[in-house]
A and B are shown apart, each in its own frame.
Chain A
């Protein structure tokens, strides 16, 4: 996701975002043993710690059983702040009863700080990774200070790069289905996605900021009723997924056997996103989605999509098309700040196109005059 384009509404610099931090893991210490919060900065409230303990993954909770397993969860706390859990395997657990110790680095951010990182937990992860050193994994300290996260993080090393190569058509179909569920506010569990982190990055990039702000999600963690998130990327046996469907109000999406595409009230937005993805314009979609801080309904997104498509058409419109497009939006009243800015962009683009067409006409007339003289 391009981090340069989105600007905070207050005009504040996206230079840095402050986060309280904590570590949830299993170590033996004079004060206790087993999975618990072993260190925390002073700004995490007692009720927030309770929620963190309820949600954080404990022994055997990562989908990948290997020593390089990793997972992430992002959800809103009851206090209104946002919590991101960054989990990874960290060596053998101290009782050596099989399996790896899970080290979870917890970040708690107030809404403004989360917005500085585009309400994107993957951006928060990228910004926080330099602070999670091998020393911290091996011997967590007893106290922590708040973290200052850079507003323009580098891509984390070892993670899948944001591929320039467009995904397969079937994968795009899957992503559209998942994105539709997210926009609709439905809870969905995605099972056996081949590259869950990259898929999540694409879906977050196409979800408006207004949706991302409230979205709870996880990847790489086993499903648990104590983590009732809206969007879950996990692996699960079919019997378990059947139980989850029965016990919890969740759609299950098996990547290898997806359901047939269904109509969605967000079809206009989905079509718009799909067309841009197919031409490799992921950053454009991400930048646009980051600007949509108030739009989350189907109608509003359809309006935005239509307006953006018309702005693009202006680039090659002839005089007739330019007139039609201008008429279409002449009396449109903006419904949000982002809509107002896009309308303004449309008007400017229309004027530039009109000037360009006028210059072309003038140049053509001059050519005719010269030819006539000759």
Chain B
């Protein structure tokens, strides 16, 4: 995607859907992506790469992305990350602030203008560090599910995926370990959707890097020993799909919560999960792998 023609005195072309917007607009009229992304990309004089984080509702996308960005901002594992625009910090601030108060962050609404977008410049310290500009939106799981079920329901997701250089697909390992087939079916549908979108020839496998992140792995610690074996055993439909149609897939286990409590009162008929403390494990590795593939 070229940002050279992205803007003129008369219009600003959206980074995601390439529709024209007036230069004063803040959000794209078509897809509600922030037009600040375009202005930042022009300022960097290089095209950013989109890494999309996908997953079902309540799988942990917001928490994962928030902690990932916070770790990068704190230079974990020799990474250096610079946010482009104050809006890029909103997501990690929301996640860290809520978790500090022992609360999970609020549910991400399906309305795309409410999604939090992040634009970061990232590099790993090396003799010749290579800076990469990454755009990573935090999408609502229900919107992703609706798009997979009926394509073109949320065109922004279609556009994002078509522009993605890499994907992180989050799957609920705890549910899968408990015997639920829901995570497997969602992941299979998601991969099938991606396959339909990117496949050029039936016999050629898709080369785009996809990191399958098994979240909430603190419930099933065996997941950390061998994420691949865990996926093969508990997410067999997904495993088979990856093996058949995707050439560049890796499996990771991840956990954020150290211990979880459940709170309720006599009057309530619901239970509130309370994250007592965080113990990050496996958050950076999927991202590191993706950036190596870019």
* B122-156 interface (Cβ within 8 A of A): 140-142, 145-146, 150, 152-154
**With A35-B110, A246-B26 as contacts: A54 and B154 at CB distance below 8 Å:** yes
Cβ distance B100 to chain A, nearest Cβ, rounded Å: 15
A32 to B142 alpha-carbon distance, docked (Å): 10
Question: B5 an interface residue at 8 Å Cβ cutoff?
Answer: no
Q: Chain A, 16-43, contact with B by CB distance < 8 Å: what is the 0/1 string?
A: 0000000000100010111110000000
Cβ distance A73 to chain B, nearest Cβ, rounded Å: 13
Q: Chain B, 152-175, contact with A by CB distance < 8 Å: what is the 0/1 string?
A: 111000000000000000000000
Contact (Cβ within 8 A) A225 B29: yes
Cβ distance B246 to chain A, nearest Cβ, rounded Å: 24
* B171-191 interface (Cβ within 8 A of A): 182, 186
Contact (Cβ within 8 A) A226 B57: no
Question: A96 an interface residue at 8 Å Cβ cutoff?
Answer: yes
Instruction: Report B-chain residues with C-beta under 8 Å of the C-beta of A94.
Output: 270
Instruction: Report B-chain residues with C-beta under 8 Å of the C-beta of A59.
Output: 106-110
**With A36-B146, A53-B146 as contacts: A60 and B106 at CB distance below 8 Å:** yes
The DSSP consensus for interface residues of chain B is: loop
Instruction: Report A-chain residues with C-beta under 8 Å of the C-beta of B270.
Output: 91-92, 94, 96
Residue in A closest to B180 when the chains form the complex, CB atoms: A30
Contact (Cβ within 8 A) A33 B146: no
Instruction: Report A-chain residues with C-beta under 8 Å of the C-beta of B222.
Output: none
Instruction: Report A-chain residues with C-beta under 8 Å of the C-beta of B153.
Output: 50, 53-54
Contact (Cβ within 8 A) B106 A97: yes
**With A50-B152, A224-B113 as contacts: A60 and B107 at CB distance below 8 Å:** yes
Contact (Cβ within 8 A) B268 A98: no
Contact (Cβ within 8 A) A58 B142: yes
Instruction: Report A-chain residues with C-beta under 8 Å of the C-beta of B27.
Output: 225, 243, 247
A54 to B182 alpha-carbon distance, docked (Å): 23
* B238-294 interface (Cβ within 8 A of A): 268-273
Question: A142 an interface residue at 8 Å Cβ cutoff?
Answer: no
- Please name the 6 residue pairs, one residue from A and one from B, whose CB atoms are nearest each other, closest first: A34-B57, A58-B110, A34-B142, A96-B272, A59-B107, A224-B111
Q: Tell me the A residues contacting B by CB distance below 8 Å.
A: 26, 30, 32-36, 46, 49-50, 53-54, 58-61, 91-99, 224-226, 243, 246-248
Q: Tell me the B residues contacting A by CB distance below 8 Å.
A: 21-22, 24-27, 29, 32, 56-58, 103-114, 140-142, 145-146, 150, 152-154, 182, 186, 268-273
